[in-house]
Structure 1
Amino acid sequence: MSNPNVSGTQAVDRAAQLLTLVVEADGPMSYGELVDETGLAKSTTSRLLAALENNHLIERDPSGFFRSGALFALYAARHDPWAETIRLADPIMHRIGELTGETVNLAIARGDTVVQIAQVESTYRLAARDWMQVDAPAHCSAVGKVLYAWDTLPLPVGRLDAPTPHSLRSSDALLRQFGTIRRRGYATSREELEIGLDAVAVPVRGLEGPVVAGLGVSGPTGRLRKNLDEIGRLLIDQSAVLTRRLRPRNRDRQRSEAGVA
């Protein structure tokens, strides 16, 4: 006679496996993809998907594909949607801070402004300020230029504020930098916000692929100016690590394709 506790646990494990696949997927998943990924019988998969759907954990779109359900959307609406991103970014930001010694920031677009959501302080006494409460013109900052270049922030119109003689003064001047920023993968700000302050930043991609944040380093021009390109390349590498953390299904697929256990 079979043990009901064992079969019950197995059903929970299988349902959890399906739910994890749907929630962590880069996009909606088809019934066939879920059968193939789990190796479950079609009848079992259908039964478990129905149960998950009935409990609002997943839902089907008009094409019959499965995505995370209303319960997850309600949870996200009641809680800070960036808390998990900040948690995953924290060790990466500290690693960048250890390697550069400079101030490290994670920023997002909110409306037509840039908001700093996490910061790691510089190890130097002479360092960039605490940017968490500073409302700086986005076109003068490296993270702002990144969010502009990847269409995460709406392009400003007309004459721009110019805090220093090095600041960009028009949206056309800003637009002309986008090709270079996208080609090399990072943006720089050279004394455009404050005299004596330089910065470099890269895009961070989220669950669905588009850029959702900017990851940057800032510090005194005397220390950063000759290292901006090197730090830019470091940030590109570390941003890729963060993106894999934010997209675990892609991470597992890449490890599998590379033959990593």
Structure 2
Amino acid sequence: MGGLDRAAAILGAFDATHRELTLAALVARCGMPRSTTHRTADRMIKLGWLDKPKDRYRIGNRLFEISSLAPVKHELREAVLPFLQDLHHATKATVQLGVLDGTDILVVERITGHRQMPMLSQAGGIIPAFCSALGRAILAHADPETVEAVLSAELPRRTPRTLTSPVAIKRELASIPTRGWAVDREEGVIGVSCVGAPVFGPLGRVVAAVSATGPNDRIRAERIGPAVRLTAAAASRAYSTRR
């Protein structure tokens, strides 16, 4: 395993629920020997890739600076952010922008108000595509190969309401283009619903999705769906113009 592979293994040990790790936890999660992990992590600290303020490692500021230069973070976020802000202002819900990353959704941007919802993924975090409104909004307009890749992977039941049958999920995906938005009704978190709509690029290819998320009593699809759909349509036009 080369130096870059070792660094990648260490970076892969971190996720939304493991933001800070002791050396022992880092060793357990990256699967490398303790001495190799310690030596590689020390080098990564010198490069600014990791930080270790006390006895725990965390992602360094240099990686955050580099990640902000990625097209998905820069171009897409810049084009869509004003519309996300408008949607948040209009709905008072938590709003998110996500892109498909393998079988998951990478949350590129998230805006929330004073009512924090810690169970939701922060920007830079990932959520399953198959049971999220963001994921379904994208998959409903994706090519069959992409859909099959997601639905042939593991489909864990996150709550009693999570759809885990590929047939049922495909039926749900088929209804989205006509309706204009996707819905997640307590499939990720009990008591929380989400409505999402697709964002398209200049060639009409789906590139992302936006969503509004909140408690069930505040997120009613028939009421909030049109606003999410209009936001996604405006974001699509803005993003396509930039490209």
TM-score by length of 2: 0.64
CA distances 1:44-97 after superposition (whole Å, capped 9, x unpaired): xxxxxxxxxxxxxxxxxxxxxxxxxxxxxxxxxxx5112111011111101000
Take 1:108 and 1:87, find their aligned partners in 2: how far apart are those partners? 14
Q: Which has the higher helix share?
A: 1
**Distance apart, 1:248 and its partner CA:** 2.6
Structure 1 160/130 Cα, relative in aligned 2: closer, same or farther at 3 Å? closer
Take 1:169 and 1:248, find their aligned partners in 2: how far apart are those partners? 38
Take 2:242 and 2:164, find their aligned partners in 1: how far apart are those partners? 43
- 1:98 pairs with 76, 80, 89, which one? 89
CA distances 1:114-136 after superposition (whole Å, capped 9, x unpaired): 10101111343567634325432
**Distance apart, 1:187 and its partner CA:** 0.4
Quick check: 1:132 aligned with 2:123? yes
Note if contact 1:86-1:118 (Cα within 8 Å) is conserved in structure 2: yes
Q: What is the identity, as a one-letter code, of the residue corresponding to 1:214?
A: A
Structure 1 residues 8-27: aligned runs within 5 Å: none
Q: What is the identity, as a one-letter code, of the residue corresponding to 1:139?
A: F
Q: What is the identity, as a one-letter code, of the residue corresponding to 1:87?
A: E
Structure 1 88/154 Cα, relative in aligned 2: closer, same or farther at 3 Å? same
Please name the residue that 2:136 is paired with. 145
Please name the residue that 1:206 is paired with. 201
Gaps of 5+ in 1: 1-78, 251-261
Quick check: 1:242 aligned with 2:232? no
Take 1:249 and 1:165, find their aligned partners in 2: how far apart are those partners? 42
Structure 1 84/222 Cα, relative in aligned 2: closer, same or farther at 3 Å? same
Instruction: Choose 1 or 2 for highest CA Rg.
Output: 1
Q: What is the identity, as a one-letter code, of the residue corresponding to 2:217?
A: G
Take 1:96 and 1:133, find their aligned partners in 2: how far apart are those partners? 20
Note if contact 1:102-1:123 (Cα within 8 Å) is conserved in structure 2: no
TM-score by length of 1: 0.60
- 1:160 pairs with 152, 155, 170, which one? 155
Take 2:104 and 2:214, find their aligned partners in 1: how far apart are those partners? 21
Gaps of 5+ in 2: 1-68
Take 1:80 and 1:126, find their aligned partners in 2: how far apart are those partners? 27
Take 2:110 and 2:154, find their aligned partners in 1: how far apart are those partners? 30
Moved more, 108-117 or 196-205: 108-117
Q: How many residues align?
A: 171
Quick check: 1:80 aligned with 2:70? yes
**Distance apart, 1:110 and its partner CA:** 1.5
Quick check: 1:229 aligned with 2:222? yes
Take 2:199 and 2:140, find their aligned partners in 1: how far apart are those partners? 12
Note if contact 1:114-1:138 (Cα within 8 Å) is conserved in structure 2: yes
Q: Secondary structure of the equivalent of 1:95?
A: helix
Moved more, 196-205 or 134-143: 134-143
